[in-house]
Amino acid sequence: MLKPFPRTGGSVEREDGYLPLEAYAALGEGRSVALSGADGSIDWWCCPNLDSPPLFDRLLSPHEGGYFSVTPVDPFTSEIGYRDGSNVHETVFTTATGKARLTESLNSGPAGRLPWAELARRIEGLEGHVRLRVELVFGTRGDTAGPFLSTNASGRAFHVASLMGLFRHSEGVLIDAEDDHAIMAHVDVSAGKSELVAIVAGEHEPLVVVPVADIDRRIEVSCDAWRNWTERLGYEGRYREQVERSGLALKLLLFSPTGAIAAAATTSLPEGIGGKKNYDYRYAWIRDAGYVIKAFLRLGAHAEASAALTWLVGRLEEHGAQVLYTLNGKTVSEEEELDLPGYRNSRPVRRGNAATGQHQHGIYGDIFETAERFVVGGGMLDLRSGALLARLADECAETWKLKDAGIWELPEQQHYTGSKISCWQALARAVEMAEDGHLPGTCKDRWARARDRVAAWIDEHCWSEEKRAYVMYPGSDKLDASLALAVRFRFGNPDRLRATCEAIDRELGAGPYHYRYTGVDAEEGCFLACTFWLVEAMALLGRKDEAAVKFEAVIEALDRNSGTYSEMADPETGAFLGNLPQCLTHLALIQAAATLSGFEL
């Protein structure tokens, strides 16, 4: 369904070269993700892979970065939206002289993902007459590469470092200028007329000079493939539209060559404008992988869940229980800073992620909750996976007393309550799976004793009578919104969990949203997943009507674009903050909606 952007009406405007983050929709094909703005400009595309250096990076460098825009020459307004059940996106431009529709797709073929990257943009006249300017400005990968054009008997290609690409277009697209830096063109469409512009690209590989008509046809092939996937989802609960859209967003973040799940498609989008919390999320976190696998299982997307679990087990066996990995399953390099202005001048711009060197107890709970959901849903673990999980349960039983960085990857090591609950969760699930024959039972009694010791320690040290809540860590008066997850994990005393959720809502709530923990409001926006976690907890604690009200309030507040959600939002303005599309936000929405509907495996 098409909706005006911005929702309040008016034209799409850039401020100092930047669009608001909610102006972007995500396109993808299982290998890369592009962000297309409501003004017709693709400002971010890491090509050919989601974690490649960007070909288009105007998102982080508005005056020097690369982009691919198809924009009316005259002033215009926009309506935006995905096709139903699909990740093919449409924008309708209205000018004083007519209307035109821009249909965009990162294409796949009849047999699945293409060997090359194919970004297709169809321009159709709907009413009257519209002239559009086409601008293809090649990125420089952060001033590390000098783009250039080459010509031979087969045609003309552009090169950016190891990437080679072709600009393909229909006859009605007229080239005005081209050089090593950019290609400029224009196109006129009237009612019933259609033209096409596209990029075909690859890295270290020859390219087929693809006929324009074939590229155009593959937009519909791709749309049909998305709809076939969506139609196979088994979700029949409430809020189907929102759940379906979030499922499609998660599908974009599933890196099909390996089965890894990216935390987001971008790097360095700020959690607070002008702040330094700008991180690279184009990696696969154990936490996110586990949560997404559970979400896919709830949706009936068993092939995706199995692929992601296979990838996860393989990485654990190869590298041990680390926080995150590259999408190809390697260890992540340390952070480095890039010389780019950053989104709305928020620096630094980072590549890599320092969290790779942290230890977080939460990975144990995430791994075991994922495996337990897999077998409850009818899956069977192989002997290698069972032996690996048994070793991890032993490791958890031995290390739970240590301090860690916690779910929020904080520099201060503490006995974080959420981390201890995750250790309890891992040991509890390990015992249950051993009792059901899914894991070797040799150490089951040891795991059970450790589980009970962890629970007793949490209740003795982490509960505050003064706050009437579990606090962030012993001796602290801070609250942590992630403790709402303890309800889903089936931890402890429901009365204490209910009181903790009430305290989180009271002290960390801001409008329809919630902050991550006490005191963080000075540095960042509200973390969207936290609100969905709280909604799910309230529903599980028997307060479904109240939880539904909160869920619907946050869904209404997020209804600012086509359905591509970020990590955070400013509670005062509603503006999106942080990387996008954000895996945790979309999967937490799915879990909350399914729980409100009583929709289980």
Are 156 and 148 contacting, i.e. CB atoms less than 8 angstroms apart?
Answer: no
Question: What is the model's pLDDT at position 256?
Answer: 92
Total residue length of the chain: 601
Averaged pLDDT, 536-544: 97
Phi first, then psi: give them for residue 71, nearest 5 degrees: -135, 135
Instruction: Write down the residue that tokens 């509890």 correspond to.
Output: 428
Per-residue pLDDT reduced to its tens digit, 81-135: 999 999 999 999 999 999 999 999 999 988 778 999 999 999 999 999 999 999 9
Selection from 54, 97, 60, 58 nearest residue 75 by Cα = 97
Residue 152: its H or E element: strand 148-152
With H, G, I as helix, E, B as strand and everything else as coil, classify residue 506.
Answer: helix
248-282: pLDDT as tens digits: 999 999 999 998 999 999 999 999 999 999 999 99
Q: Is the dihedral of CA 61, 266, 104, 154 positive or negative?
A: positive
pLDDT tens for each residue of 182-238 = 999 999 999 999 999 999 999 999 999 999 999 999 999 999 999 999 999 989 899
Q: 73 with 133: CB under 8 angstroms?
A: yes
Joined together, the tokens standing for residue 198 give 């596209």
Q: At what angle do helices 286-299 and 362-376 cross, to 10 degrees?
A: 20
Give 466's contacts (C-beta < 8 A, 6+ positions apart).
477
Round to whole Å and give the CA distance between 535 and 532. 5
Pairing of strands 108-109, 89-94: unpaired
Residue 445 CB neighbour total at 10 angstroms: 11
Q: Is 56 helix (H, G, I), strand (E, B) or coil?
A: strand
Q: Which residues contact 481 (CB under 8 A, 6 or more apart)?
A: 504, 508, 514, 515, 516, 517, 527, 530, 533, 534
**Averaged pLDDT score across all residues of the chain:** 95
Q: Give the chain's domains with CATH numbers.
A: 3-230 (2.70.98), 232-596 (1.50.10.10)
Q: Could you give the angle at which helices 212-231 and 240-253 cross, rounded to 10 degrees? A: 120
pTM of the model: 0.96
